[in-house]
Amino acid sequence: MKVLHILDHSIPILSGYSIRSKYILEGQRKQGIQVAAVTSPKHSRFTNEVEEINGIRYYRSKIPENPRGKAISKLPLLGEQAVISALYERVMEILEAERFDLIHAHSPVLCGLSALKAARKFGVPVIYEIRYFWEDAAVEVRGWRFPKLSFRYRTTRYLETRLAEKVDRIVTISRGLKADLISRGIDESKIHCVPNGVDTERFQPLCKDPELSRKYNLNGCFVIGFIGAFYRYEGIEHIIRMLPGLLKIHSNVKAVLVGGGEELGAQRERARLENLSTCLGVHNHAIFTGRVPYSEITRYYSIMDVVVYPRVRSRLTELVT
């Protein structure tokens, strides 16, 4: 059996999205399934149009690199349409050259729409994996205003619903996403929930890493940790705001905040958090490590006494968690 995955982005870019995708592709390959993947133009950093990573082919797509293409890509709605068109053309090229038995498209809806359009021309069934609803992620990450009243929000929600109606099967990462789809009238029997997981072979308890403890001056400290993307909905601000109160009780408390993000919103959030720690007088107790290689993550977990994920309650976080 041969499966073509349609992804927003993939490794070597590191995110929760790309790591889940990596494990899905590698897991399917271990079961004897031949897998390949194509990424949307939003995966913009690549050297070759076809790359092989861990023995798996990744096809890259891009919006035409001319003044008109660059201008369109920055415009609301037209930019999204440019992504769909470029990804669709790339998927068509791949399907014309090689036969696949199944297309497995992953959020956002742009990937699903491209996949469905191409798959129907070749009579290939489509699985659509929903990890979040794009309209809700845009509200949290991009700061869309008046989301439920906006034409853009309602259009995106409509497209997501129509796509869910037309694909052959749906996978969600949470019961909340599944319930929301059912409330829209999607047939429950075609929806399957496959939550996120942990590689228990890789993530084993470790003794505290002495090198990192020395690097960040953590010896003798109680360490509160966070590892992930720096988006406002992650609630990292609450970790910093609780430090002044904790330090009145225990002077040896430090917060080690690992990660960041490539999007401008994540970069601005880190700057805001660093400024907040300075204003609260806890900058010496809030350590921002920046992004670290995936291979080093277990070492960073080892230096943390407690890991905190204080996500802010919102439609996005309630549905996906």
pLDDT for position 28:
97
Which ranges constitute the DSSP H helices of the chain? 16-30, 67-73, 78-97, 109-122, 134-141, 151-166, 175-183, 210-215, 236-249, 264-279, 297-302, 315-320
pLDDT for position 122:
96
End of a domain among 168, 193, 218?
A: 193
| Sign of the four-CA dihedral 46, 65, 157, 104 | negative
End of a domain among 132, 162, 193?
A: 193
In a domain, 205, yes or no: no
Tokens of 131: 């990890």
pLDDT for position 63:
83
Q: Is the pLDDT of residue 302 over 80?
A: yes
Length, in residues, of the chain: 321
Q: Is the pLDDT of residue 36 over 90?
A: yes
In a domain, 23, yes or no: yes
Do 165 and 247 reside in the same domain of the chain? no
Task: Give tens-digit pLDDT for 244-266.
Answer: 999 999 999 999 999 987 666 77
pLDDT for position 104:
99
Q: Is the pLDDT of residue 42 over 60?
A: yes
In a domain, 215, yes or no: yes
DSSP H or E segment with residue 258 = strand 253-260
In a domain, 202, yes or no: no
Rounded CA separation 127/130 (Å) = 10
Do 270 and 187 reside in the same domain of the chain? no
| Residue type for position 29 | R
In a domain, 120, yes or no: yes
Do 235 and 143 reside in the same domain of the chain? no
Do 247 and 288 reside in the same domain of the chain? yes
Tokens of 243: 């430090």
Do 55 and 153 reside in the same domain of the chain? yes
In a domain, 320, yes or no: no
Which CATH number do you get for residue 56? 3.40.50.2000
Q: Do residues 299 and 206 lie in contact, with contact meaning Cβ atoms separated by under 8 Å?
A: yes
pLDDT for position 43:
86
Do 187 and 45 reside in the same domain of the chain? yes
126-130 β-sheet, strand order: 50-53, 56-59, 34-39, 2-7, 102-106, 126-130, 169-172, 191-193
Do 116 and 217 reside in the same domain of the chain? no
Do 52 and 188 reside in the same domain of the chain? yes
Rounded CA separation 89/27 (Å) = 28
- Cα separations in angstroms, 89 against 38, 64, 296: 11, 11, 37
Counting residues of the chain whose pLDDT is more than 70, the rounded percentage is 91
Rounded CA separation 170/107 (Å) = 11
Tokens of 18: 């790309």
Do 134 and 223 reside in the same domain of the chain? no
Counted domains in the chain: 2
Nearest to 61 by CA among 8, 128, 116: 8
Do 29 and 118 reside in the same domain of the chain? yes
Rounded CA separation 287/306 (Å) = 15
**Which range is least confidently modeled, 21-25, 79-83, 106-110, 230-234?**
79-83
Do 8 and 153 reside in the same domain of the chain? yes
**Residue 300 CA to its chain's centroid (Å):** 20
Nearest to 14 by CA among 169, 195, 229: 229
User: Taking all residues of the chain, what is their mean pLDDT, rounded to a whole number?
Assistant: 91
Helix axes 134-141, 151-166, angle to 10 degrees: 150
Do 24 and 162 reside in the same domain of the chain? yes
Rounded CA separation 134/83 (Å) = 14
End of a domain among 193, 220, 238?
A: 193
In a domain, 68, yes or no: yes
In a domain, 46, yes or no: yes
Structural domain span for residue 11: 2-193
Task: Please provide the DSSP assignment of 31-99 as one string.
Answer: TT-EEEEEE-TT----SSSEEEETTEEEE------SHHHHHHHTSTTHHHHHHHHHHHHHHHHHHHHS-
